[in-house]
């Protein structure tokens, strides 16, 4: 987690806690600002604007996460109620169908013997994203991290609340392409978020909004 925060870095913005006061010798009600007063006002405005920009990006992150989580949760409720225990529904011939399964492993059915480990990893990912959100100054990174957060929350909900027990619950999967593992919308959000992070890294865009060239 400490390494992840090191990668994010701290944006090069003015100290948000700093306060500036006008020169003590300025005449009261003079109507003319001293250089010190003008400088202090400008330096106070800069961190306020930075907080506003960061706040909008954090809001986007949580909006994307909430949307991804809601879609995953609703889809799983419908699958359990309408599809589980029934014949698969073909969408595109033999190439794509909806087939309800329960997955004790990670995304796409891998690692079925490590259910608790994957549960702890998902919880750790959520904690890391929540901590790093306070240093976020990039809209594309907000979208990517929001997708990761929403997907991790979706599958973690299954791990906690579904049978056979807390932290050992099986994830509901239902999207079944031909010749590929069955997955769900949470898995899709995680993969899309990961791909976007890779693309942003190749472009040199850091989560704090800076651009670097190797």
Catalytic residue among 72, 158, 173, 208: 173
In three-state secondary structure terms, 206 is coil
Catalytic residue among 94, 187, 206, 214: 187
| Nearest Cα residue to 160 out of 151, 149, 171, 173 | 171
Cα angle: 35, vertex 37, 38; to 5 degrees = 65
Q: What is the CB neighbour count within 10 angstroms for residue 87?
A: 8
Task: Report how many helices (DSSP H) and strands (DSSP E) the chain contains, helices first.
Answer: 5, 3
206 in active site: no
Q: What is the CB neighbour count within 10 angstroms for residue 35?
A: 8
94 in active site: no
Task: List active site positions.
Answer: 173, 187
């Amino acid at each position: 987690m400490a390494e992840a925060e090191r990668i994010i870095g701290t944006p090069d913005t003015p100290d948000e806690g700093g306060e500036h006061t006008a020169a003590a010798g300025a005449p009261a009600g003079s109507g003319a600002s001293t250089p010190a007063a003008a400088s202090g006002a400008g330096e106070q405005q800069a961190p306020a604007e930075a907080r506003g920009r960061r706040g909008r990006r954090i809001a986007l992150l949580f909006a994307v996460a909430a949307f991804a989580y809601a879609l995953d949760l609703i889809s799983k409720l419908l699958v359990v109620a309408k599809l589980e225990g029934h014949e698969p529904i073909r969408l595109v011939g033999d190439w794509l169908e909806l087939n309800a399964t329960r997955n004790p492993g990670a995304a796409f059915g891998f690692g079925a013997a490590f259910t608790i480990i994957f549960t702890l990893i998902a919880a750790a990912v959520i904690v890391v994203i929540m901590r790093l959100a306070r240093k976020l100054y990039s809209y594309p990174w907000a979208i990517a991290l929001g997708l990761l957060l929403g997907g991790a929350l979706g599958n973690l909900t299954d791990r906690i609340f579904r049978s056979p027990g807390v932290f050992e619950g099986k994830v509901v999967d239902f999207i079944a392409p031909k010749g590929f593992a069955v997955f769900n919308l949470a898995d899709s959000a995680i993969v899309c978020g990961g791909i976007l992070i890779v693309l942003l890294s190749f472009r040199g865009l850091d989560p704090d909004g800076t651009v670097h060239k190797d």
